[in-house]
Structure 1
């Protein structure tokens, strides 16, 4: 009974004739358990059982039916149990993808930006490049080249590459810290993170936010807390101003966010959070078709990107209203 429950709990997707992915996003080769041979034995067993049932309905000899049922049960149960057992090689591959992606990735340079990706994901690079180029076009030239040389590296969180998904924010932050060490060793310090899911406006907006933060802070986003003050509003404006695609993606993300505009990856564990109070004036500013905004961004860039510049200063510079804090409102934990 216990064995049967374990089979249903861990390998239920293999009980169907077709393969059902266990992951919410595309994953690198080698981390998805596809027990083709064992699954074929399971399907063969089911076929034998069906044939035995048909023969029984035709009033065949009992010995023939019994033999068919016995063989079918052996193949079905044996194949079902075998395909539900974890493959140790899969566990090793998943650990490598999660913790040491640079060791198995390829990199290419476009213009002055390095893009690193898992095998089979090179087709995403042109899309990433278009987002990076669009964001860099709306920041001052000095900011576009601040910090280490810009790099984008594809990542896969434990939530995405572990069957069933059991990640937590704390685990995500530990992963980010380890990635920073690995990025520096691989020659791409402070690399911008991009997910394995790509192709829609929301993914483009999430990448745009990561790139905008990298250009604002001269370092990759560490995660964990809210982005606060004037720079939170500036980041929202940069994402929306970059391109119609990133603007549409940001508006879509805003519709499904509560309390903050969340530029998150598919796992939902890692992303940049701009409180609604900071996002609102930026969204209002994006409605204005004014040639005066970009020059003001360039003129006040250093002030707007400083961690201690209050949101009210953003409102004063651009002439947009800032919602006052209620007396009982608690300040969110902010990224330093």
Structure 2
């Protein structure tokens, strides 16, 4: 005798259940899944390392240049670290969605009140706390930089939004992959394939720059900060692109929420044939309508971020590079004038302090000469290009860059001393005689640690032998003999050397003065071979 046919239990929501209770059930499941995600070792470890790294950066000040952050660079610097958290969330949420399949409990869900698509929504919501955590870390990172006394520039909310949006995008991708490919290998293969795709996109970005903006974030190497209005990064369009992509992927995951295999998931347009697994007709249509709108947003963002640099931006970059005085705001400090881009005017007092220290050691008219310190950039070739600033031929003009702090301070001191001795930067670039000794002593004698500053401004980080000395424009060349004399001077009491420099200023700043003669005037033993080294190349 055959048993009577068992009637299948419905998985649709009971008619008497209110929408508020259904929403509370989804949110409750989302909280449980979020807690489970946090307890997964990859997510927990990466999140702890991420928070600890940012906390350490805030505690230590971000290195020698960290006291003078440029906010339009800081906002972009918040993006790369979040990628590791996003990948960890992607892999672990994918594993969480496949938990029932892995443990063989899929069949039990068919008797539950909550439909599969609502469980998918709960998994999607479970990654939101990690995006919010990323947003808090980004806010702390940027706020810590903005509150520093030496901070300049203007941050972008769109750039700051990229990190949490990237984490959210990777998280919802993990859910979609689990619904499309119900296998434990789906997420790892996607991560590897995604990495390869990003590498290919970045490698082809020279010919088609817009391709790199299809990735979650674009980290452009920049030698020197640029004014915020010269960046030209389509940050707002990129944020819109990410938002549209997140909603589109989420809708696709919901529509695939009741399907068990990839071939079935590909039949999205025929959802009404499976009313048990899919949302009701009203919700299904709503999800599809939202997906269509998200696709429009994604396309709009992709098109907007692929337009490239406008003619107006290129013209502004050229003007800032070849005629910066048209964009500058000039501020007087003492006898000298300091001209900077508007976002950097608060830093002119730091420059003036260096000029005062160097001029206090100079003799003759140089001690009271009026200098024009002018901030310069070369933005003609975009953010990723690195160009050396050409020395200026204008008498009394000293170049200063957009970076400050650390080694930039003694490098600027070298630039100031060079102009005081040679008259202008172009003439200073050609120095190959005893004047180099005078320049280097003027630049470094008033620093807190002259020998360390000497090491910092030399490319090889040495205090002996010949070397190239960094300056804001063209570098200087020091011979081994000049290095020996300068090292001896820096180790002596400053007041005694200052008196000799001022007494013999005219001869020490003459192009006819050799290194040996400069050593004699300053009462330093003459290094062997100094006369031969002073011969300039014709």
Is 2:367 the counterpart of 1:144? yes
User: Residues 114-133 of structure 1 correspond to what in structure 2 (within 5 A)?
Assistant: 114-133=337-356
Is 2:451 the counterpart of 1:252? no
Alpha-carbon offset, residue 235 of structure 1:
0.9
| Deviation sequence 1:209-244 (CA, Å, 0-9, x none) | 111122212x22117845321110111111121232
TM-score when scaled to structure 2? 0.51
Q: Which residue of 1 aligns with 2:479?
A: 275
Distance 1:78 1:112, change over 3 A: same
**Two-structure CA RMSD over aligned residues (Å):** 3.6
Of 75, 78, 82, which residue of structure 1 is paired with 2:304? 82
Greater mean deviation of Cα atoms: 219-228 or 104-113: 219-228
SS at match of 1:163: coil
Is 2:354 the counterpart of 1:155? no
CA distance in 2, matches of 1:290, 1:40: 56
CA distance in 2, matches of 1:72, 1:198: 43
| Deviation sequence 1:61-80 (CA, Å, 0-9, x none) | 70279887776666545533
Of 417, 433, 436, which residue of structure 2 is paired with 1:232? 436
Alpha-carbon offset, residue 252 of structure 1:
1.4
Residue pair 2:241, 2:302 contacting (<8 A) in 1 also: yes
| Deviation sequence 1:33-65 (CA, Å, 0-9, x none) | 132432133112321332134224403770279
TM-score when scaled to structure 1? 0.78
Residue pair 1:260, 1:274 contacting (<8 A) in 2 also: yes
Q: Which residue of 1 aligns with 2:330?
A: 107
Tell me, which stretches of 5 or more residues in structure 1 are unaligned? Answer: 181-188
Residue pair 2:433, 2:534 contacting (<8 A) in 1 also: no
Residue pair 2:418, 2:428 contacting (<8 A) in 1 also: no
Is 2:415 the counterpart of 1:210? yes
SS at match of 1:114: strand
SS at match of 1:264: coil
Alpha-carbon offset, residue 89 of structure 1:
2.1
Residue pair 1:42, 1:80 contacting (<8 A) in 2 also: yes
Alpha-carbon offset, residue 26 of structure 1:
2.4
Q: Which residue of 2 aligns with 1:183?
A: none
Is 2:471 the counterpart of 1:264? yes
Alpha-carbon offset, residue 263 of structure 1:
2.4
Of 29, 35, 41, which residue of structure 1 is paired with 2:234? 35
Tell me, which stretches of 5 or more residues in structure 2 are unaligned? Answer: 1-199, 260-266, 270-283
CA distance in 2, matches of 1:275, 1:13: 46
Distance 1:293 1:45, change over 3 A: same
Is 2:397 the counterpart of 1:191? yes
Distance 1:330 1:19, change over 3 A: same
Q: Which residue of 2 aligns with 1:320?
A: 525
SS at match of 1:229: coil
Distance 1:305 1:11, change over 3 A: farther
Count of matched residue pairs = 311
Alpha-carbon offset, residue 151 of structure 1:
1.5
| Deviation sequence 1:252-311 (CA, Å, 0-9, x none) | 12263584241233xxx6333333432331112211226432222122211111112111
Distance 1:207 1:3, change over 3 A: closer
